[in-house]
Structure 1
Amino acid sequence: MKQVTILGSTSTIGVNTLDVISTNRDKYSVFALTANTNIDLLEQQCRTYAPTYAALRHEKLARELGERLSDLPTVVVGGDNSLCDVASHPDTDMVMAAILGSAGLQPTLAAVRAGKRILLANKESLVMSGKLFMEQVRSNEAMLLPIDSEHNAIYQCLANGAVGHASGVKRLILTGSGGPLLRADISKMITVTPDQACAHPNWKMGRKISVDSATMMNKGLELLEASFLFDISPGLIDVMIHPESIVHSMVEYLDGSVVAQLGNPDMRTPIAHGLAWPDRVPSSVEPLNLTSNSGLHFEEVDHDRFPCLRLAREISEEPQGLFIALNAANEVAVKCFLDELIAFTDIPVIIEAVLEQTKAEEAPTIESVIELDRAARELALNRVNRKS
């Protein structure tokens, strides 16, 4: 019986992970659950899965949850270190890293340093810390399994299935649906509302990642993440529009072979793969019926429509500091858009402005990563305030 800790159990990925565990209760037990502020859902999850620990960064919320769960043996912990503590606990066999954005960096690194099996759904952690993160994975003999559907697909398509090694590969091909605005009139993008940007045609996701899909910044972040995960130059990673979201990514080999991973757009598939690797377990995902699909289509990315992806591509060979700035500025801009403080078209403008004001430098320590992240957020907020 494997003991699983879920960092961000109330997120979409967290909820789907618990669903897969429910399908395989004979193989997995929940050791710890963590959340940001959604203690109502976290309480429900604790009552259903009876974890040993529940953790919240905010101590006040942790005390409230502890009072609610006083009839259960679950230990509720709080504070800045609580998430790191449960992620690195000796009794944890594997850690699902599903905390959204930069907030997931420290707990995920704690799991890495403890040599855990990490199911990485938090792309921002790797985008921010890059080489430093992968060095920690290697030096602590941790196991890293990508859960983003695209990177998980590539992992399955690689001949040796190993993160950090992509021998014989000519290029990686990341696919993206293009989101809800793929066919929208570019001249009217300024009027796009948060609800319109979040209305993804294929995937059920949280609002932040839904906006990233609409801008295709998600593909930009995935491009950067893939270069670290598979130790391959960003110049050998292509992005292609695939509206149906059936082919999740492809690997083209030097001999002309192209290997693709297909499946219905459901995150439970890569989650089940990560939990069970190298074995397979049921995920409760509806089987893919190729005969019922009208066809699979692919097209080039229009960078005029998706300038966020262009920005990520432009800095992909630059030092780590610009990756940190890109991610931080995007997080700030997307939040401000969702709060209706800026227009949809302001998102790439703010990101580009922050990149122009950020020095291209490496970030050799976690402290430098955190400082560069803080500085970029300040620049982004200043830009937002100038627009308000």
Structure 2
Amino acid sequence: MLKGLLIGLAVLLGILMIGNLDKIFIQSAPDRVIVTTKKVGAVSLEKIMEKYEGTEVYEERFGLVKVPYGQVNRYVQLLKEDKDIRMVSKIQIEPKLDFKNFVVEVRDQLVGYTEGEFGTITYRNRIDRELPIDLQLGKMVKRSFSYLIPGILTAIVGGFALALLAIWLPKVGSVLDKFNRLLLAMPDFLIIALMQTIAILLAIASGKKVLTIMQFADNTPFLIPFLAISLLPTALMYGAFRIAVTREWDEGYIKTAYAKGVSRSRVILVHILRNVTEDLLAVLPRVVSVAITSLVVAEVMCGVFGLGGYAINPDLFKVTSLPATCAILACFGLLTHVLVAILRKYLVVKTKEVA
């Protein structure tokens, strides 16, 4: 259990670090801003800055003000709301590496998480205003999981059912095997693009919209993301089950069971399925990982403002909430490993069955 917790913490810490890699490179001074006061009846800059703890005026005539290291964005937003200040701007510098800024940003982000602040998004039509992601996070989670969870469940059940069908009907299984290899060879973005193209061609032929392929306001596509999430994981489940069953057919206990007159269906349902449970559980985390990857691709290509696709939304200018949303998807994936560990404890046959 301790090992699992450490792995989970390492994954979340890795997401936090990678999500803030851009903070290593700075293009503006990390501890200084330029402040311009109002001219008519203006209060002195020194007097104004006395209201803000941690600030210090370097050169009043140039409006040069020192702020706490790494807090430039926060103070820019704060000072812009002051009625005695006309304008606040960052100081542009030559791009350089600054690991101190990276450490400060990560630390502040962790503090923000403890206070319920999960980052911000900035729209291109208002680049001067950073909006907390908290207001959108609930809708994003609901939107993404509305097709992620059904897609994963469909993949597990569908892959298992198709594999059973292939075993019972060898000729059908031969066709399914070929289709499965083709599906695994196709990248998910190509599958999504094909589905969108088919939807467009059907709409042109019928003269009306067949299904939604892009999000518009609250009208969110469901079928394309759902199918994109389901198809490749279904192929993985099918392939894992087929390989496991093929291996079991060559085992001695199967031949012994047939020699005793046990029917084919009983051999499959009673004997083989018990011995391939480990294989099915082993592929489950991989199925969930592929489903999450497909979710991201589908949301990006369908323009869905969900956990996976919002960061590449063309309407957004800046995103600082990516670590938080990635962590939600990572936690979902980690929970799969916990579930598999529990199921393995109670379902897996420790000693292979013999007839």
* Higher relative contact order structure (alpha carbons within 8 Å, sequence separation ≥ 6): 2
Same fold (TM > 0.5): no
Q: TM-score, normalised by structure 1?
A: 0.20
Structure in which a larger fraction of residues adopt helix: 2
